[in-house]
Structure 1
């Protein structure tokens, strides 16, 4: 089976971890099997707990619903659904930082108001 060297700079722990990962295998899962669990939460590519920024190489992350195409194009990835397709060097990111890059433009941009007719308010009391 073909493998690829994947190196993760785990910035929050001050560690650099490197393993051979079988082609097509999820990177997070492979690192766990080899005794080096990395940060994660959902394992479904929906959150940003396992986010990395690619420094060299590329990965296959078709299932990464938690990252916009824009962030993927800027080199961000989610290790839980990322597959090794070649040598890779990446650095872990702060979950809140990536979440803000992903969704920040949609939040905190002013008040959302809705005028509710009095008749509708009356039905809420029932």
Structure 2
């Protein structure tokens, strides 16, 4: 028998709060949409950070979330498009740019981009 969990979602962008029921074998985002809840998303493949949330409480499984580094996962971030509830949950949507900056910011923005130089010249 499939277990069903209660998922509380705070959408920071709109200020809305939702409570949905999610079977353990269904993606949270898809189930939210089926219950009339509109949340941010883009790729639906776990490759971007548009649907990123921060887990406030509970357990989540996201084996296909290639868009999040292990470090961000360890800090409680998840991608709802490829996440399964493993307990009752409380999550909060995140700003995509904030998550992207936390993940990649140290690699980008390190000065001017120089075009037209051979690879061996700096």
TM-score using structure 1 length: 0.87
Indicate conservation of the 8 Å contact 1:24/1:85, yes or no.
Answer: no
* Residue in structure 2 matched with residue 124 of structure 1 by the alignment: none
RMSD value, Cα: 1.6
Q: Aligned to 1:105, what secondary structure does the other structure show?
A: coil
Map Cα deviations across residues 48-76 of structure 1 (whole Å, 9 max, x no partner). 10000010011000100010000000000
How far is 1:85 from its partner? 1.0
How far is 1:92 from its partner? 0.3
Q: Which has the higher helix share?
A: 1
* Residue in structure 2 matched with residue 122 of structure 1 by the alignment: none
* Residue in structure 1 matched with residue 59 of structure 2 by the alignment: 58
Number of residue pairs matched by the alignment: 117
* Cα separation, partners in 2 of 1:10 and 1:111, compared to 1, 3 Å: same
* Residue in structure 1 matched with residue 20 of structure 2 by the alignment: 19
Unmatched 5+ stretches in structure 1: 118-126
Q: Aligned to 2:5, what secondary structure does the other structure show?
A: strand
Larger radius of gyration: 1
Q: Which has the higher strand share?
A: 1
Unmatched 5+ stretches in structure 2: none
In 1: Cα distance, 2:117 partner to 2:12 partner:
47
How far is 1:38 from its partner? 1.1
How far is 1:100 from its partner? 0.6
TM-score using structure 2 length: 0.89
Comparing 106-115 with 1-10, greater Cα deviation is found at 106-115
